[in-house]
Amino acid sequence: MYSTFSPRYSLLTFALAAAVGGSSVAHAQSSTAGAAPAPVTTTAAPTTVTYDGFVDTYYAYDFNAPPTFDRAYTTQPARSDEFNVNLAMLGATLSQERFRARLALQAGTSVQSNYAGEPAIGAVSGPSVSRSIQEAYVGTQLAENVWVDAGIYLSHVGAESFISRSNLTYTRSLVADYSPYYQSGVRLSYSASPKLSLQLHVVNGWQNISENNHSKMIGTQIAFTPSEKIALTYNTLLGREADFRQFHDFIVSIKPTNTLTLLGQADYGRQGASEWMGAMATAKYQIATNDAVVARIETYRDPDQVVVVTGSPSGFETQSASIGFDHALSPQVQWRNELRGFWTKDAIYPSAEGPLKRDAFVVTSLSAGF
């Protein structure tokens, strides 16, 4: 949800307007002898600014009781036995007829966890520089239904957002956690029809704002919505990391009834001779106007530890299942709960007794957004 305010009262608005050459109506008066002053007016395209914000607080308890309170191999919830903020963000979006821009700032334990892998090469790189910026981009319209945006923006891959209120489940799936949540580069988007949209991306790399090599990755998206009940998406990322990497992401969303939503995702990646893959299936059932139950099953396999480094003989081979209950206290406020378990081939999950082959936790969250 968004709220619209007068832009003249916001420094954030001023910065966005300057970034896209935002203009205002200017008035000047001139006079000549014996004549009344005549106004001279310069007009510009109308500018609108919308604001959005979100705060997600949580308490999670990991039954393994990890000694450092950090929950391993996840970005959400990142801490155990602790009241904390998963994500707090504030954004502003500026729109003109042929220009647009967005700036969104963020903080929270999911941010700190997700940006921990940012490359720190040189004096002005690394997570301390980039993690407070969720999005910062400027765009312009090249032709009808064709836009180009440049800067930092949320990733085009995956079925789940970094912002929990946008997802069917409170916690994010394994395929979401181990594919990019954000990108830095250039995005070309084309709405071919109300049912078909296409994207082309040139980005620094696999979820990194600071560059770690002299190569770029190419990303694509084909999104097809044949009906109001079905949506199909195919995403790719191709380019050199340690070796040439290719990543394919298939998503299907089905809403057979007004109360039932089904979501599935399957990923396949290859780098050199190594492969990894993952899949998840989620179902959400609206049991009442403000109440819903949601369940998910998933699997992930990265034996050569291309994406998930465990240091164990079999790498990251994990299955997971979860069940949750959501209650909307108001259109802006949500109370979400989830119980989730993991089973792995190797003992990789930390506990007070040492690494274990299983993990489970329960989490409750109270969030609000506008």
Domain of residue 89, residue span: 3-369
pLDDT at 38: 52
The domain total for the chain is 1
Which among 144, 143, 141, 181 is positioned nearest to 161, based on CA atoms?
Answer: 181
| Phi, then psi, of 37 in degrees rounded to 5 | -55, 135
Q: How far apart are CA 83 and CA 124, in angstroms?
A: 32
pLDDT at 46: 86
pLDDT at 129: 86
pLDDT at 44: 63
Calculated CA dihedral for residues 201, 206, 207, 208, nearest 10 degrees: -100
For residue 12, what is the enclosing H or E element? Answer: helix 11-19
Q: What does each C-alpha distance from 185 to 137, 200, 204 come to in angstroms? A: 9, 11, 6
Q: What does each C-alpha distance from 78 to 73, 83, 307, 343, 361 come to in angstroms? A: 9, 11, 18, 18, 11
pLDDT at 40: 52
Encode pLDDT of 133-156 as tens digits.
Answer: 999 999 999 999 999 999 999 999
Q: Which residue has the tokens 């981009």?
A: 137
Which among 263, 242, 77, 87 is positioned nearest to 171, based on CA atoms?
Answer: 77
Encode pLDDT of 53-96 as tens digits.
Answer: 999 999 999 999 999 999 999 999 999 999 999 999 999 999 99
- The tens-digit pLDDT sequence of the chain (370 residues) is 433 333 333 334 333 443 334 333 333 333 333 444 555 555 566 899 999 999 999 999 999 999 999 999 999 999 999 999 999 999 999 999 999 999 999 999 999 999 999 999 998 999 988 999 999 999 999 999 999 999 999 999 999 999 999 999 999 999 999 999 999 999 999 999 999 999 999 999 999 999 999 999 999 999 999 999 999 999 999 999 989 999 999 999 999 999 999 999 999 999 999 999 999 999 999 999 999 999 999 999 999 999 999 999 999 999 999 999 999 999 999 999 999 999 999 999 999 999 999 999 999 999 999 9
pLDDT at 236: 98
- pTM, whole model, 2 decimals? 0.86
Alpha helices in 236-315 (DSSP H): none
Helix (H, G, I), strand (E, B) or coil at 111: helix
Number of helices and strands (H, E) in the chain?
Answer: 4, 19
Q: What is the CATH number of the domain that holds 108?
A: 2.40.160.10
Please, which residues bridge with residue 103 across strands? 92, 136
Q: Which stretches does DSSP call E strand in 241-290?
A: 244-254, 260-271, 274-286
